[in-house]
Amino acid sequence: MSIEMHRYAGGFPKIGIRPTIDGRRRGVRQSLEDQTMNMAKATAALLSEILRYPNGDPVECIIADSCIGGVAEATACADKFAKAGVGVSITVTPCWCYGTETMDMDPSIPKAVWGFNGTERPGAVYLAAVLSGYAQKGLPAFGIYGEQVQDSTDASVPDDVKDKLIGFARAGLAVAYMRGKSYLSMGSVSMGIAGSIVSDSFFQEYLGMRNEYIDMSEFVRRIDEKIYDEVEFNKAMARVKEHCVEGPDNNDPDIQSTREKKDRDWETVVKMTQIARDLMIGNPRLAELGFGEEAMGHNAIVSGFQGQRQWTDHFPNGDFWEAMLNSSFDWNGIRAPYLVATENDSLNGAVMLFGSLLTNTAQIFADVRTYWSPESVERVTGHKLGGAAQNGILHLINSGSATLDGTGEQTKDGKPAMKPFWEISEEEANRCLAATSWRPANMGYFRGGGYSSDYLTKGGMPMTMSRLNLVKGIGPVLQIAEGYSVDLPEEVHEALDHRTDPTWPTTWFAPIVTGEGAFRSVYDVMDNWGANHGSISYGHIGADLITLASMLRIPVNMHNVAEERFFRPRAWGLFGTAQTEGADYRACSNFGPLYK
């Protein structure tokens, strides 16, 4: 079994489609059977066509064996869904149904109801009634209701309904896929960063995940005892020598590593890449080599590496292997990214996970390092910012662990992009590698040596920066900022970049400002950001993040997403409609964590 087949051996959650119907016989139910079941089939076809699992396969939908007219059929449907591994449910109906007798009662499964907007039968009446029941029972559900009236013979799915079905299902699948997985903490707290104080209650109660822990000495043990695939190592070293260009050494000559030490570091960081992956997901090859326990892995969908300082003061840093695992390719070819949070910042790891599951793309881990006002840029470089950057820019830069997909060397419609791995060509992967140089690590930060990636993100990509923060008395809170990567003239970039560490990858990011609140200006975005790190996704996915956060009962404290793009459970409106941010906090507090 290949490592990628092994990675997904546990399978994926299914979407359950529940066609509900008026249970009255003698002509009423019979007249609705075909229309109701066809709604379910149309929904399943839409979602399977549009949505993909992390391995690239189409999403699988399971339809109830019959229309659901009462509690007996609802129970039979629930039993079928449980056996089939359904993690998300969508109820569809064109008519009145008996609400509390037909509703999905599983408290841990995200649920939505599509009530057909037609005048022949009151599907919208059922929708309102059952959503009221869900609210009364403390089971928040999403309501889907088309804006335009359809004829009863119209089997199409309107565009506005499509958008909500897809947005709900995408977020719901993310919730379901996280459940039962692990966050693997490799090491402990890094340099006093609060996000690396891993909160098991957060992962358990909000995400349904468990926490796994290993000491960083496990890397030493596996290197010394050769608990890795040496055949793969030799293949990897050949590929690294061919495609990973070593950049200039910026360290003072008297503290630079010798050539012999640098060559040993290359071998070490490649072995660390293999070991970290094997720690996360296991590797059947290790069992063949006699390491049965190590072959099991930790079922980790995301991980974090402490690194600084106990590791990096003595051993090569983790920048190379974090960057490679976070990318959509390595020496084994093009594949889905693994997710690793630098400095074991588990909260940034969590939003990396959110972004990856919503987009099936790699995520950029970065420091939110500096706000450059237009005035400051002009003072330092003489350049006047324009276009998307006219209000100022954020310098996103970290010690070389960001995904190489972030170079922007992949393209979509002729423009820079970050794509799901199944859309990436070998040429694009090689361009990402060619655009990256591997700089000998800054010995002031990393006394043990190693290599840091250095690249510049291409401008013009729509991006969304997000961050989770834990607040005592509230719990997790999500922040979202949509914007664009921007290009600067080469000499301007060089002047600004050299004021910090030029051996690390840079993304120049311009958030979209609204003139209000935390988005009154780019400065206000920086001033209100809750931590030193952020996760950056390709695309404007703020609306999907808001939907996902509401499913997990995590309030959003700042965002620049237009209100018409919001999609939250219908019950959120019962906590106030005039000020939706406050209603979000009240609803999340009232219903509590999804798994508590």
The set of catalytic residues is 343, 367
CA angle 56, 321, 194 (to 5 degrees): 95
Q: Which residues contact 562 (CB under 8 A, 6 or more apart)?
A: none
CA-to-CA distance for 503 and 71, rounded, in angstroms? 63
Whether 288 has a binding-site annotation, put simply, is no
Taking the C-alpha atoms of residue 162 and residue 160, their distance in angstroms, rounded to an integer, is: 5
In the chain, the amino acid numbered 95 is C
**Among candidates 306, 414, 436, 312, which has minimal Cα distance to 364?**
436
Please count the other Cβ atoms lying within 10 Å of the Cβ belonging to residue 315: 22
3-state SS class at 167: helix
- Report whether 280 contacts 184 (CB < 8 A): yes
Among 567, 479, 572, which Cα is nearest to 169's? 567
**Amino acid type, 230:** E
Q: Is 22 annotated as a binding residue?
A: no
- Three-state DSSP at 446 gives coil
298 is in an annotated binding site: no
**Residue 94 amino acid letter:** P
C-alpha distances in Å from residue 532, one per residue of 16, 249, 304: 40, 27, 16
Report residue 202 CA to chain centroid gap: 17
Angle at 184 between CA 351 and CA 329, to 5 degrees: 70
Q: Compute the distance between CA of residue 349 and CA of residue 354 in angstroms, rounded to an integer.
A: 9
Binding residues for Mn(2+): 343, 367, 533
